[in-house]
C-alpha cells in the first residue's frame, strides 16, 4: 500500500496510491474536478459526465470520466484543456436546460453544487428556448421526504445510497431517456431508516425534508460540529440553526464512525427543542398540582433535606447527559455515604458487559479488518442504526457474517450464517454446542473475529452471552464490542463510580430506603419493561426531584421539577461512544426559560449546601473527568478542539458496572425496541412524531393463523390492561415467537412473564347492533 505512483496533471507531477480513482487522486492533491454523480462513499457510475478530463493514450488524447478511471503510472492528464472546458460547459448546459429556475424558493440555493458549479464552469446564458420538462411539484415519497422531480439531475446518488449503503432500494429510476425520473414503487413509500441521507447528498434541491423545507436560507444558518447522543454510535454531526432555532442536523464524514451517514432518528429528532411544551420554569408540587417556583426555593427546600446526613438518597440517571454532567453527579454523591456511589441507569438492557482483562475491545473500524463478524445483540438496525450500516459495509468488503438469535432478522439477508430457532431458544439461550456449528468451525475458529454482543432483550440471561463470548475468546482472535444501545451509556459507565440497571432499581430501591430520589432525564415508566414496578416505587417516595425537558409519565410523579437544557444543541460537553471514543458535544442554541444543564443544577445545589465539591465550572468538570489520562491522550476540551482530534479520541477506560445477575427473569414474548418509539422527544418532534405511534406486534404467518387473526387488528389483554394493535407478518421469526415493541405506547405495561391474551378485533359491522 505504501507504494505510490506518479501522474502528471496539468503539467504538474502528483503522487497517488495505485488504483485510486483519478478524481480522488486529483482531489487529494488539491486539484478540484467538478462532479455531480460521484460521491466518495458510493460506487462510481460515470453518469453525469461533469468530471470528464483528457488523458493521453496511444491513440491520442481521449476524454474520460475521472470518476471511473483509475490512475496508472506515468498517466498524463489535462483537467483544464479547451476540450475539457467545452465538454464541462456542455454538460452543465444540458443539465440546466430542464432544470427549473426556482432557486429563489429552493432550499438548496446557496449550498447547491449545481449553482456553484454553474458559476464556476457553466455557460453564462442558456440557448434553450423550448418549454422545460414538467413534473408535478414535490410529491411526498414518505412521511418525511419530498421529491421534486423537475429539479432532479438524475445523478443516482439517492438510488445508489439506498441500494448500496442502506440496503433498502425503495427509490429507483423509472422510465427512460428524457422522461427518466426518480420515484418510488406504487404503494411502497420510501420507508427507510436512512432516508435523510439522500436529502443530504442530493446535489440539487430535488429531495427535501419536511422538517427543513422553507425554514431557512443556508447563508443565514449558524452551525457547529457536535456528536449525536441518540445512541452509543456517536455519529459526528453538524447542527444548523437560524434565529436561535435548531433547524437541521447533517452528518459529518467521520471516517472511523459514521462516514457521513446518520439514521433518520438522529437527523430529525430535534424539533422537540422548539416545542411549546418544553419545561421553562422550575415547578413544585403542592396538593398534587404543579406550581411555578424559583430555583432558589427548590435549593432551599432540598438543602434542608440534604443537610441531614441520615437522608437516604438515590439517583436514577438517564443516558442523555454529557460526561461532565455525570462527573458532577458522581462528585455530588460523594457527600452521601449512604448512596455507596450507586447510580441506577435508565436502561433495562444494561448488564455487566465484557470489559475484563483478556478481552480485546473492538472499534467500529475493526469490522472492516475482520474475517468474520459475530452478532448477538438487540436489533442493530433498530437500536444502533449506523453500526448496522458499517456491518453491511464490512460484509460487502468480504467479512463473513454470523448472526445469533432472531433479534437481528434485518441482517438475515446478508448473513452467511443465521442461527435462530434451532440454535437459540425463544428466550435467547444457546441450545446447541457452539463449536459444532458449521459456520463457526469454518469462519470463526482461529480467525480474526469482531463480535457485537449485547442483550437481545431485557430478559436474556447474562450467562447465555457468557457462553458465546468465552467460546470466541478461547477459539479465535476476537475483539468484542459491547452493544449497549442507549445514548451516552459509555460516558455514564466511565464517569459514575458504580452503575446498575433498572432491574436493580426495582429490587433495591424503595420508599423505606429512599428519602430523596433524583430522576435525571429518564422516563422508565413510559419506556421500561419494569414500568409497573418503577411506578409503584417512585409513587411511594416522598421527595422526588426530576430534571427533565418535559413532563411525562415519570416526571409527573416528581415533587420538584427542574427544567433542563437538552444535550442536543443546548449544552457543551463530551460524549463517549461504543468504542470508548470521546468527542465533543457543542452548543448552538440557547435553552428556553430558566433551563439549566444537569451539572449547573447540581453545582448550584452543592454550593447552596456548602459542599466543597469543586464542580462549579464546565472546564473543571472536564478536567476532572479525564484527570487519570496523560495530557496527550486525554479527551479534554483542549485536545478535542484540535482539528486532528475532531473525530474523537479513543481511550482505554475501565467501566464500573455492577448489575446483578438477572436469573428468574423470563418472558413469554420477544420484547425489543423499534427505532421510533413513544419517547417524549419523538412525540414532540412534529415531522417524525407519527412514525413511532403505530402499535403493532409481529409474528410469522403460521403463528398469526394459530391466533385466528384475520381482520388486521387485534387486542392484547392482561389483567384489565388492554392494547389494541395491528399485526405484521414477519416470516423471519420462528414459529410461535411473537415480537412486541416495548417502546410503542402502553406495551411496556404488560407483564411479559405472564400470558397476554391476543384476540382478533371484532369488525365494526359485528358491533353495529342496529
C-alpha to C-alpha distance for 439 and 371, rounded to whole angstroms? 12
Residue range at the interface with another protein (CB under 8 A); choices 80-88, 104-112, 362-370, 461-469: 80-88
Those residues whose C-beta lies under 8 Å from the C-beta of residue 481, and which sit 6 or more positions away, are: 361, 362, 363, 364, 366, 450, 451, 452, 453, 578, 579
CB under 8 Å, gap of 24 or more: what pairs does 276-279 form?
277/550, 277/551, 277/684, 278/549, 278/550, 278/563, 278/592, 278/593, 278/595, 278/684, 279/548, 279/549, 279/550, 279/551, 279/561, 279/563, 279/564, 279/593, 279/595
Per CB under 8 A, 52 contacts another protein: yes
C-alpha–C-alpha distance, residues 149 and 693, integer Å: 30
Quick one: which segment of 62-70, 298-306, 421-429, 759-767 binds another protein (CB under 8 A)?
62-70
Q: What is the 3-state secondary structure (H, E, C) of 593-623?
A: CCCECHHHHHHHHHHHCCCCCCCCCHHHHHH
C-alpha distance from residue 570 to each of 273, 588, 673 (Å):
9, 6, 27
59 binds another protein (CB under 8 A): no
Given 8, 27, 90, 608, the residue binding another protein (CB under 8 A): 90
Integer Cα distance of 573 and 641 in angstroms: 12
Query: Least CB distance from residue 94 to another protein, whole Å?
Result: 4
Q: How far, rounded to the nearest angstrom, does the alpha carbon of residue 616 sit from its chain's CA centroid?
A: 31
Which of the 8 DSSP states describes residue 660? P
Q: Which of 83, 103, 665, 693 touches another protein (CB under 8 A)? A: 83
Q: Does 49 bind another protein (CB under 8 A)?
A: yes
Considering the complex, what minimum distance in angstroms separates the CB of residue 48 from another protein? 5
- Rounded to an integer, what distance in angstroms lies between the CA atom of residue 127 and that of residue 125? 7
Q: How far apart are CA 683 and CA 25, in angstroms?
A: 46
CA distance 549 to 431: 45
Only segment of 46-54, 245-253, 700-708, 754-762 that touches another protein (CB under 8 A): 46-54
CB 41 within 8 A of CB 259: yes
**In the complex, least distance from residue 473 CB atom to another protein, rounded to whole angstroms:** 39
Asked if residue 109 binds another protein (CB under 8 A), the reply is no
Quick one: 178 or 644, whose CB is closer to another protein? 178
Query: Given the complex with another protein, which of 60 and 358 has the nearer CB atom?
Result: 60
Bridge-based pairing of strands 448-453 and 5-9 is unpaired
Stretch that binds another protein, among 49-57, 198-206, 408-416, 536-544 (CB under 8 A): 49-57
Kindly tell me which of 131 and 765 has the beta carbon lying closer to another protein. 131
When binding is defined by CB under 8 A, the residue of 44, 318, 592, 604 that contacts another protein is: 44
Q: Could you say which of 17, 29, 94, 305 contacts another protein (CB under 8 A)?
A: 94
Among 154, 480, 671, 756, binds another protein (CB under 8 A): 154
| Cβ count near 612 (within 10 Å) | 8
Return the number of the residue (45 or 305) whose C-beta is nearest another protein. 45
Extract the C-alpha cell encoding 728: 405484521
Which residue's CB is nearer to another protein, number 86 or number 536? 86
Q: Decide: is 48 part of the binding site for another protein (CB under 8 A).
A: yes
**128 binds another protein per the rule CB under 8 A:** yes
C-alpha cell at 485: 444501545
Closest CA to 140 of 211, 241, 80: 211
Cross-strand bridge partners of residue 376: 453
Residue 695 makes contact with another protein by CB under 8 A: no
Examine residue 764 and tell whether it contacts another protein (CB under 8 A): no
| Contacting residue, 16, 66, 79, 98, with another protein by CB under 8 A | 98
Residue number, 127 or 642, with CB nearest to another protein: 127
| Residue nearer to another protein on the CB measure, 45 or 665 | 45
Asked if 760 touches another protein (CB under 8 A), the answer is: no
Which residues partner with 284 through β-bridges? 291, 560
Q: Please choose, out of 24-32, 169-177, 229-237, 479-487, the segment that lies near another protein by the rule CB under 8 A.
A: 169-177
Regarding 609 and contact with another protein (CB under 8 A), the answer is no
Contacting range for another protein; rule: CB under 8 A; set: 87-95, 108-116, 676-684, 729-737 = 87-95
Q: Which is nearer to another protein, 127 or 357 (CB)?
A: 127
Instruction: Please tell me whether residue 158 binds another protein under the rule CB under 8 A.
Output: no
Say whether 430 sits in a helix, a strand or coil.
Answer: strand
User: How far from 132 is each of 105, 322, 441, 676, CA to CA, in Å?
Assistant: 18, 52, 61, 40
Q: Please, what is the minimum distance in Å from the beta carbon of residue 69 to another protein?
A: 9
Candidate residues 2, 179, 187, 764; the one interacting with another protein per rule CB under 8 A: 179
Applying the rule CB under 8 A, the residues between 180 and 239 that interact with another protein are 180
Strand order across the 236-242 sheet: 222-227, 236-242, 245-251
Q: What are phi and psi of 120, to 5 degrees?
A: -80, -40
Least separation, in Å, of the C-beta of 130 and another protein?
A: 5
- Helices assigned H by DSSP within 699-746: 701-706
Q: Cα–Cα distance between 527 and 347 in angstroms, integer?
A: 9
Nearer Cβ to another protein (34/692): 34
Site for another protein in 736-755 (CB under 8 A): none
Q: Which residues contact 310 (CB under 8 A, 6 or more apart)?
A: 338
Cβ–Cβ under 8 Å, residues 646 and 490: no
Q: Is 396 in the site for another protein (CB under 8 A)?
A: no
Minimum distance from CB of 108 to another protein (Å)? Answer: 19
Does 62 contact another protein by CB under 8 A? yes
Q: Which is nearer to another protein, 86 or 412 (CB)?
A: 86
421 contacts 735 by C-beta, under 8 angstroms: yes
Q: Which stretch binds another protein (CB under 8 A): 94-102, 226-234, 431-439, 716-724?
A: 94-102
Task: Please identify, among the stretches 86-94, 114-122, 678-686, 722-730, the one whose residues bind another protein according to the rule CB under 8 A.
Answer: 86-94
Query: How many angstroms separate the CA atoms of 154 and 172, rounded?
Result: 10
- Please choose, out of 39-47, 143-151, 303-311, 363-371, the segment that lies near another protein by the rule CB under 8 A: 39-47
Minimum distance from CB of 45 to another protein (Å)? 7
Backbone angles phi, psi at 103, to 5 degrees: -50, -40
Q: Collect all residues with Cβ–Cβ distance below 8 Å to 451 and sequence separation of at least 6.
A: 362, 373, 374, 375, 376, 468, 469, 472, 478, 479, 480, 481
Residue of 63, 414, 693, 729 interacting with another protein (CB under 8 A): 63
> Does the footprint of another protein cover residue 305 (CB under 8 A)?
no
Per CB under 8 A, the list member of 74, 102, 137, 173 interacting with another protein is 173
> What is the CA angle 142-145-151, rounded to 5?
125
Q: Which is nearer to another protein, 31 or 84 (CB)?
A: 84
| The pairing of beta strand 76-78 with beta strand 5-9 | parallel
Residue 135 makes contact with another protein by CB under 8 A: no
Residue nearer to another protein on the CB measure, 128 or 277: 128
Binding residue for another protein, selected from 31, 91, 394, 472, defined by CB under 8 A: 91
- # chain residues binding another protein, by CB under 8 A: 34
Distance CA 566, CA 591 (A): 7
- Tell me the closest approach of the beta carbon of residue 576 to another protein, in angstroms: 43
Stretch that binds another protein, among 122-130, 266-274, 488-496, 564-572 (CB under 8 A): 122-130
Output phi, psi for 668, to 5 deg.
-90, 0
Cα separation, 201 vs 260, whole angstroms: 9
**Interface residue with another protein, options 26, 55, 144, 153 (CB under 8 A):** 153
Q: Which residues bind another protein (CB under 8 A)?
A: 44-50, 52, 62-63, 68, 83, 86-87, 89-91, 93-95, 97-98, 127-128, 130, 153-154, 173, 175-180
Amino acid at each position: 500500500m505504501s507504494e505510490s505512483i506518479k501522474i502528471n496533471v496539468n503539467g504538474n507531477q502528483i503522487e497517488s496510491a495505485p488504483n485510486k480513482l483519478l478524481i480522488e487522486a486529483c482531489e487529494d492533491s488539491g486539484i478540484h474536478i467538478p462532479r455531480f454523480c460521484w460521491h466518495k462513499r458510493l460506487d462510481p457510475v460515470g453518469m453525469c459526465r461533469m468530471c470528464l478530463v483528457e488523458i493521453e493514450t496511444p491513440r491520442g488524447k481521449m476524454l474520460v470520466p475521472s470518476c471511473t478511471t483509475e490512475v496508472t503510472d506515468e498517466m498524463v492528464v489535462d483537467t483544464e484543456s479547451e476540450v475539457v472546458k467545452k465538454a464541462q460547459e456542455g454538460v452543465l448546459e444540458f443539465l440546466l436546460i430542464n432544470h427549473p429556475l426556482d432557486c429563489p424558493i429552493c432550499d438548496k440555493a446557496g449550498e447547491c453544487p449545481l449553482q456553484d458549479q454553474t458559476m464556476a464552469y457553466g455557460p453564462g446564458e442558456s440557448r434553450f428556448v423550448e418549454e422545460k420538462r414538467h413534473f408535478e411539484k414535490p410529491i411526498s415519497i414518505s412521511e418525511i421526504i419530498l421529491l421534486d422531480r423537475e429539479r432532479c439531475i438524475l445523478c443516482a446518488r439517492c438510488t445508489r445510497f439506498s441500494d448500496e449503503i442502506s440496503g433498502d432500494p425503495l427509490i429507483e429510476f423509472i422510465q427512460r431517456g428524457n422522461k427518466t425520473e426518480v420515484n418510488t414503487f406504487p404503494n411502497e413509500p420510501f420507508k427507510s431508516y436512512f432516508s435523510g441521507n439522500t436529502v443530504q447528498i442530493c446535489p440539487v434541491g430535488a429531495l427535501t425534508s419536511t422538517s427543513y423545507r422553507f425554514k431557512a436560507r443556508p447563508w443565514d444558518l449558524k452551525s457547529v460540529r457536535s456528536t449525536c447522543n441518540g445512541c452509543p454510535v456517536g455519529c459526528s454531526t453538524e447542527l444548523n440553526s437560524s434565529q436561535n432555532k435548531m433547524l437541521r442536523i447533517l452528518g459529518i464524514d467521520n471516517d472511523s464512525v459514521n462516514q457521513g451517514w446518520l439514521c433518520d432518528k438522529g437527523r430529525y429528532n430535534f424539533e422537540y427543542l422548539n416545542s411549546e411544551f418544553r419545561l421553562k420554569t422550575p415547578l413544585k408540587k403542592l396538593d398534587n398540582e404543579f406550581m411555578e417556583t424559583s430555583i432558589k426555593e427548590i435549593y432551599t427546600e432540598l438543602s434542608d433535606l440534604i443537610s441531614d446526613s441520615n437522608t437516604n438518597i438515590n439517583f436514577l440517571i438517564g443516558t442523555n447527559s454529557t460526561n461532565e454532567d455525570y462527573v458532577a453527579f458522581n462528585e455530588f454523591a460523594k457527600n452521601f455515604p449512604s448512596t455507596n456511589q450507586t447510580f441506577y441507569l435508565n436502561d433495562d438492557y444494561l448488564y455487566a458487559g465484557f470489559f475484563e482483562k483478556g478481552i480485546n475491545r473492538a472499534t467500529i473500524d475493526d469490522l472492516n479488518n475482520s474475517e468474520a463478524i459475530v452478532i448477538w445483540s438487540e436489533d442493530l438496525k433498530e437500536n444502533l442504526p449506523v453500526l448496522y450500516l458499517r456491518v453491511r459495509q464490512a460484509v460487502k468488503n468480504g467479512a463473513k457474517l454470523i448472526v445469533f438469535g432472531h433479534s437481528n432478522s434485518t441482517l438475515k439477508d446478508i448473513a452467511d450464517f443465521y442461527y435462530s430457532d434451532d440454535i437459540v431458544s425463544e428466550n435467547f439461550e444457546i441450545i446447541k454446542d457452539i463449536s459444532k456449528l458449521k459456520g463457526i468451525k469454518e469462519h470463526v475458529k482461529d480467525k480474526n473475529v469482531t463480535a457485537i454482543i449485547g442483550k437481545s432483550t431485557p430478559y436474556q440471561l447474562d450467562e447465555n452471552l457468557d457462553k458465546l463470548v468465552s467460546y470466541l475468546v478461547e477459539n479465535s482472535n476476537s475483539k468484542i464490542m459491547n452493544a449497549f444501545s442507549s445514548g451516552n451509556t459509555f460516558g455514564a459507565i466511565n464517569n459514575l463510580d458504580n452503575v446498575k440497571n433498572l432491574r436493580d432499581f426495582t429490587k433495591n430501591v424503595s420508599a423505606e430506603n429512599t428519602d430523596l430520589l433524583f430522576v435525571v432525564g429518564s422516563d422508565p415508566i413510559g419506556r421500561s419493561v419494569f414500568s409497573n414496578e418503577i411506578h409503584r416505587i417512585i409513587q411511594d417516595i416522598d421527595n422526588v426531584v426530576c430534571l427533565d425537558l418535559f413532563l411525562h409519565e415519570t416526571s409527573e410523579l416528581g415533587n420538584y421539577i427542574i427544567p433542563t437544557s437538552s444535550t442536543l444543541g443546548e449544552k457543551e460537553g463530551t460524549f463517549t461512544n461504543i468504542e470508548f471514543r470521546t468527542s465533543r458535544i457543542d452548543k448552538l442554541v440557547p435553552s428556553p426559560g430558566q433551563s439549566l444543564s444537569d451539572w449547573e443544577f447540581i453545582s448550584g445545589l452543592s454550593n447552596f449546601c456548602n459542599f466543597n465539591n469543586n464542580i462549579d465550572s464546565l472546564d473543571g468538570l472536564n478536567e476532572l473527568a479525564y484527570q487519570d489520562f496523560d495530557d496527550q491522550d486525554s479527551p479534554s476540551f483542549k485536545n478535542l478542539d484540535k482539528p486532528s482530534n475532531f473525530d474523537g479520541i479513543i481511550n482505554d477506560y475501565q467501566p464500573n458496572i455492577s448489575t446483578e445477575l438477572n436469573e428468574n427473569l423470563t418472558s413469554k414474548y420477544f420484547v425489543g425496541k423499534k427505532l421510533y418509539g413513544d419517547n417524549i422527544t419523538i412525540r414532540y418532534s412534529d415531522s417524525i412524531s407519527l412514525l413511532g405511534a403505530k402499535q403493532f406486534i409481529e409474528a410469522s404467518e403460521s403463528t398469526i393463523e394459530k391466533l385466528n387473526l384475520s381482520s388486521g387488528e387485534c387486542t392484547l389483554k392482561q389483567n384489565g390492561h388492554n392494547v389494541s394493535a395491528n399485526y405484521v407478518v414477519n416470516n423471519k421469526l420462528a414459529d410461535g415467537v411473537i415480537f412486541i415493541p416495548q417502546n410503542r405506547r402502553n406495551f411496556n405495561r404488560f407483564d411479559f412473564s405472564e400470558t397476554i391474551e391476543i384476540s382478533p378485533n371484532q369488525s365494526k359491522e359485528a358491533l353495529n347492533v342496529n
